[in-house]
Amino acid sequence: MNNRMEIKFPAISRNESLARSVVSAFAVELNPDLDRLGDIKTAVSEAVTNCIVHGYPSGNGEIEIIAENNDGILHIEVLDRGVGIADITTARQPFYTTKEGEERSGMGFTVMETFMDSLEVENRDGGGLRVVMEKSFKESL
Ligand SMILES: Nc1ncnc2c1ncn2[C@@H]1O[C@H](COP(=O)(O)OP(=O)(O)OP(=O)(O)O)[C@@H](O)[C@H]1O
Ligand SMILES: [Mg+2]
């Protein structure tokens, strides 16, 4: 049976582990092995950290996560209402970062792309960013 959940929380680093845990708990019904559960957690962490660090540079904002199980395909959306990205193609390149020298390596999107089956990044109407990732678990069900 298909399933869906939504959560919203303030964009503070304390909530990175919350987001990771909630999404991995949701994913359990897809019967992931520990490696693939780790992939999901890492991808969600990267997306949520980006909202906090880049989306809301002056603090104060909200992050929304939508997760769906669509016939064995895990669909995850991470949404913010922050500043968005002027050039998404460039931002997705490995090692591209606008926070150089501040312990960022520019590998977040690359990690999401590598650990998930697909990654979509788009600016939202009304401002902010929408990151959509999918990973299939059909073979493990
Ligand atoms: N939610 C977001 N809102 C606004 N800008 C973003 C968002 N997510 C990413 N970006 C932009 O895209 C760039 C690349 O993101 P990416 O996660 O690949 O690297 P990083 O966050 O800079 O470094 P790392 O993830 O390795 O710590 C960021 O430097 C930032 O300019
Ligand atoms: Mg990042």
Closest residue by Cα to atom 19, ligand 1, is 106
> In terms of CATH architecture, what is 3-140?
2-Layer Sandwich (3.30)
Q: Whole-number mean pLDDT of the chain?
A: 96
Ligand 1 residue neighbourhood (C-beta within 6 Å): 46, 50-51, 54-55, 80, 82-85, 91, 96-99, 104-109, 129
**62, 81 Cβ separation under 8 angstroms:** yes
Q: State the DSSP code for 126.
A: T
> 59-104: per-residue pLDDT in tens?
899 999 999 999 999 999 999 999 999 999 999 999 999 998 778 8
Percent of the residues in the chain that have a pLDDT greater than 90, as a whole number: 92
Rg over alpha carbons for the chain, rounded to the nearest Å, is: 14
CA dist 118 → 8, 10, 109 (Å): 23, 26, 11
**88, 113 Cβ separation under 8 angstroms:** no
Write down the residue that tokens 């913010």 correspond to: 80
